[in-house]
A = this chain, B = another copy of it.
Amino acid sequence: QDVTESRFGKGLFNVIAKDSSYSANFTVRMQSLFTSDWGIPEAGDWEDAQSNLMIRRARLKLGGFAYSPKLKYKLQLGLANRDISGASPYTSNAPRYILDALVAWNFYENFELWVGQTKLPGNREQLISSGSLETVDRSLVNSYFNLGREMGVQLHHSTNLGGNFLLKEAVSVSQGEGRNITTGNLGGHQYMGRLELLPFGDFDAYSGADLDREETPKLAIGLSYEFNNDAVKTRSNAGSYMVNDEGFFETDITTFFLDAMFKYRGFSLMGEYADRRADDAFARNSDGSLTGDAVNIGKGYNLQAGYVFGKDWQVVGRYTNIDLDDQISEAIENQYTLALSKYIAKHKLKIQTDLSYTDLDLGLDDNLLYRLQLEIQF
């Protein structure tokens, strides 16, 4: 047995070469999740509870620099069945094992060029690692609107606008059909940009809970816009393929996100607004008849606030509203969540639990969801 200088939470294997030719940090994560949910009819008794026990996520992550400190790399692999699901003819009928496979080159001053598969510069909730959330999982806004991971190129830059005022910019060009696709580009490409303002200086704007108890107020405001030229999937680069008699129905899709994170003395506030539009939301065959698929256009927003008490116990309240276009779904969805987390070693070892009530109008069944999760990250 060897003695390592690394510490719990800093990587199981964390080295730098003596000649500075590379560094490597290898980490592992696992989430054990218990859920129980009840269908609640508008009239009548609650339905029987459905329960589920599973490894929700398990991941291997490797990162560092290679050849030169200016060339960074990242490889992240999913292990859990939910991580690697999604095998289809578009992925060579193989599980979607690779999450990130990325090389980032700092070629000039504050400019970085990214090549490979990783998260697009989309909404904040999505950019926050699923291991750094202040709730058991992300909100419905993210489920409906996020643009996830893609193979492509990204250009990142950051500017100091004077004082502590920071501006971060990112643009990307990608295939537009989601991660691990081997069948090539269909329709056109996807173009995306993100601007982020940090008026009061840099801080950890991509993790839930103010565990660092910021001594001065910190704010980040983000704005993302995506244009997917001739998109072929119902949620731009996600959802299902819109197959028609000629092959695929193609339409231009745009998604707009506005998001913010505020942290101060243990208090954190996160908000997010999403809006998706399509040139023609209804997939059609060549003769104009409907195929039955439709782009999930509409709006959604999420607001959540939390406070970290002593010994890193945190309480969070969350409100989410999903309002898809009336032609897609007339039902408005409201979700109310109350979450409690005990951070034993910050996000590296924590127990999180939340209770969510989802209210659907138009007489549809409501739902109560309870979740309990244990997370460990090296």
Contact = CB atoms under 8 A, between A and B. Distances in A.
Given A15-B3, A374-B103, A94 B92 contact: no
A177 to B, nearest CB: 10
Contacts of A62: 12, 28
Contacts of A52: 175, 182-185
Interface in A141-175: 151-152, 174-175
Contact of A116 (B30, B35, B87): B30
A17 to B, nearest CB: 6
B116 A180 contact: no
Given A79-B77, A79-B98, A93-B85, A55 B4 contact: no
Contacts of A97: 79-81, 84, 95
A30 B76 CA distance: 12
A32 B344 contact: no
A17 B21 contact: no
A22 interface: yes
Interface string A246-267: 0000000000000000000000
Contacts of A184: 35, 50-52, 54
Contacts of A107: none
A35 B86 CA distance: 24
Interface in A26-42: 28, 30, 32, 35
Contacts of A75: 28, 30, 58, 79
A85 B15 contact: no
Given A58-B75, A101-B55, A16 B3 contact: yes
Contacts of A8: 17, 21-22, 66-67
B67 A80 contact: no
A245 interface: no
A349 interface: yes
A24 interface: yes
Interface string A60-97: 00100011000101010101111011110001111111
A133 to B, nearest CB: 19
A28 B22 CA distance: 13
A309 interface: no
A5 interface: yes
A13 interface: yes
Interface of A: 1-10, 12-19, 21-24, 28, 30, 32, 35, 50-55, 58, 62, 66-67, 71, 73, 75, 77, 79-82, 84-87, 91-98, 101, 103, 115-117, 151-152, 174-175, 180-185, 344-345, 348-349, 374, 376, 378
Given A1-B23, A13-B24, A80-B98, 10 more contacts: A6-B17, A6-B22, A8-B22, A8-B67, A32-B116, A55-B101, A81-B94, A82-B182, A103-B374, A103-B376
19 contacts: A1-B10, A2-B4, A2-B16, A4-B15, A7-B19, A32-B115, A35-B184, A52-B185, A54-B181, A54-B182, A55-B101, A55-B151, A58-B98, A66-B349, A66-B378, A77-B79, A84-B97, A86-B94, A87-B93
- Of all A-B residue pairs in the complex, the 9 with the closest CB atoms, nearest first, are A52-B184, A85-B92, A8-B21, A8-B22, A4-B15, A53-B151, A81-B94, A85-B94, A55-B101
